[in-house]
Amino acid sequence: MIRLRGVEIADLDALFAIDRECFRPGIAYSRVELRYYLSHPRSVSILAEDDATQTIAGFAIANTYLEKGSPVGHIITIDVRSANRRWGLGRMLMDAILAQLSAAGTAVVRLEVAVDNAVAQAFYQGLGFGQTGRIRGYYMGTLDALVMEKRLNP
Ligand SMILES: CC(C)(COP(=O)(O)OP(=O)(O)OC[C@H]1O[C@@H](n2cnc3c(N)ncnc32)[C@H](O)[C@@H]1OP(=O)(O)O)[C@@H](O)C(=O)NCCC(=O)NCCS
């Protein structure tokens, strides 16, 4: 059975390995970056663990920042191991993260996704995110990102 639980700093090595499985070099986070995002005071995170094997199947990290005095949520990453995809885990993780962001008073959530990542774009569209912009060379200076946004219900 899969259960959601909070991320602990002891999970860092496992999350680092999953991120490298999910993203190519240049897009995957370094260990230092992941540690920074996990320990940041305005970050929220969640992971999905297989109870039977106690292995992590996926995780999500977000943070909040102030824009014109209002908290905005920012999805840092969501990673589901390839063997565990299409089980609904991505949606479970995002629902949990969006609930945490909403509880923190966030009305808008933003993210960036690579223009060539059609699966993630379809995933986010299904969750109610819509494209609001494009950032040239966001990844590695050469690959554009789409900016996507979702308004949360109060
Ligand atoms: C994007 C990702 C997190 C989705 O995780 P997942 O657990 O497979 O997603 P779910 O099973 O919850 O799927 C939810 C919905 O997303 C969409 N979706 C997911 N995978 C899809 C695919 N391969 N093709 C088309 N739509 C897809 C579908 O609408 C799906 O609903 P459905 O299964 O009822 O049709 C996962 O593919 C992943 O980790 N990819 C690599 C990392 C990545 O790109 N992260 C996003 C970075 S911006």
CA dihedral 78→82→119→147, nearest 10 degrees, is 20
Q: What is the CATH number of the domain that holds 66?
A: 3.40.630.30
**Nearest residue by C-alpha to atom 25 in ligand 1:** 119
Global pTM reads 0.97
Q: Measuring from each residue's beta carbon to the nearest atom of ligand 1, which residues come in under 6 Å?
A: 22, 78-80, 85-91, 113, 117, 119-120, 122-123, 126
Number of domains in the chain: 1
Residue 151, domain member (yes or no)? no
Determine the structural domain holding residue 56 and report its residue range.
2-109
Question: How do the pLDDT tens digits run along the chain, 154 residues long?
Answer: 999 999 999 999 999 999 999 999 999 999 999 999 999 999 999 999 999 998 999 999 999 999 999 999 999 999 999 999 999 999 999 999 999 999 999 999 999 999 999 999 999 999 999 999 999 999 999 999 999 999 997 6
Distance CA 82, CA 49 (A): 14
pLDDT score recorded for residue 153? 77
Cα–ligand 1 centroid distance for 89 (angstroms): 9
